Structure 1
Amino acid sequence: MQDDPIRVIDEQLLSDDHAPLKKVTFEQRRSDGAWQRQEREVYANAGGAAVLLFDRARRTVLLTRQFRMGAHLAGQDGFVIEAPAGMLDGTGPEQRVRAESCEETGYRAKQVRKVLAFMPNPSALTEIVHCFLGEYERGDKVAAGGGKAEEGEDIEVLEIDAGEAFAMARDGRIVDAKTIILLQRLQQEM
């Protein structure tokens, strides 16, 4: 395309362990018309989906706590409270959140509805996270939860008062972006 302000010159695969990490060389046409060559490392992953399960009658939410290496390396203890989520891996976002809610919390969501999608870090990730709100009740527990041991998951299930979860997002006890966004959305709707 002649008028495209971006020209990809080269893509070099640096690693493909968990997701492809590429070094991309490109040229960008600046506002003054000059072309500038740049290089960036980008994880080219397939995206994911997350769901915040809430019990409207009891005003509770289901969250999980699990170890995250990135948080640990950033100086946190590494055990992050978050909404159930997973990589799409060839499935649709709604199908993924339904599976993840059962695997991680043990609860089957009655209804799920997509509320937004966002890019967590568009400078270094191709990932788009699809976010859902879902309802549950006590009787919707169909499995133990806790994740899949064969995937290295050891997940603690937390049922928390919604007001307390909102406070945790405000005061920094919840630091996961998708979870904060979903809690803020739920708070707007309650």
Structure 2
Amino acid sequence: MNRPGADAPEPGTPGIDVPDRRGRTGLHLTGLDLTGNPRVEVLDVRLLTSNWYVTRTTRIRFRHRDGHVSIEDRETYDRGNGATILLYDPARRTVLLIRQFRYPAYVNGHPDGELLEAPAGLLDDDAPEAAIRREAHEETGHRIGEVQRVFEAYMSPGSITEKLYFFAAPYSERDRTDAGGGLAEEGEDIELVELGIDEALQRIGTDIIDAKTIMLLQWAALSGPFAAPRAG
């Protein structure tokens, strides 16, 4: 516990008073200074895990819209923010996706865990555009030129803190400098998959079931590079 009179963290706890795997300390203090919502008072933060990602349980005093007040415990999973990008070729009407194994999907009922996705990755210490340029090159082998920042979204705000930055950029074989496929030292084993935009849209809900990829494909078709010209 982290407020006066509450139980103190045990000394030598990774992520609190000694660096965790990623060199972080003070992770039990996150949220204690929040003041933006007058209906919410953060009472306490307990660090549950701090390995590569961080899990916390936070106790808040919450004033409901009818005026009554309750004490709530909210658990959050903090993996940092990320970025994703749709690579498209407007002349050939294609998009460049990747296929990779996702254990969480596999253990939750996906037949083989192999998902078709837009390239993506965590920001780490980079700005969103720099991060997505890095990820696009690592995963697809393409060094992209000008990028368009499309929108931002919280992907699972009930429990996961991550904000995802969405980008789009054209690609061509001229931009490809190596084979891509991800970083072997991070266990990545990535296959490049090029699809026509019409086929990609048709496969939404069958073998394209990754939320960020669906969002980017629909943006591309509705208002992005593959949108129908507006009359008038």
> Any unmatched runs of 5+ in structure 1?
none
> Any unmatched runs of 5+ in structure 2?
1-34, 227-232
Cα RMSD between the aligned structures? 1.4
- The partner residue of 2:189 within 151, 154, 169 is 154
- The partner residue of 2:148 within 94, 113, 118 is 113
Spell out the pairing of 1:39-188 with structure 2 (5 A cutoff). Answer: 39-76=73-110, 77-169=112-204, 171-188=205-222
Q: Deviations over 1:44-98 (max 9, x none)?
A: 2321000010011111111001111110111102111100000010111111111
- State the partner residue of 1:29: 63
TM-score, normalising length from structure 2? 0.78
Q: Deviations over 1:119-174 (max 9, x none)?
A: 011110111000001101121111110000001100111111111111112x4211
Q: Does 1:15 align with 2:49?
A: yes
- Relative distance call for 1:34 and 1:185 in structure 2 (3 A) is same
Q: As a proportion of its length, which structure holds more strand?
A: 1
Q: As a proportion of its length, which structure holds more helix?
A: 1
User: Which residue identity does 1:90 align to in structure 2?
Assistant: D
User: Which residue identity does 1:11 align to in structure 2?
Assistant: V
Q: CA deviation at 1:33?
A: 1.6
Q: Larger radius of gyration, structure 1 or 2?
A: 2
- Runs of 4+ in structure 1 over 4 Å off: none
- State the partner residue of 2:10: none
TM-score, normalising length from structure 1? 0.95
Higher RCO (CA-CA < 8 Å; seq separation 6+): 1
Aligned residues: 189
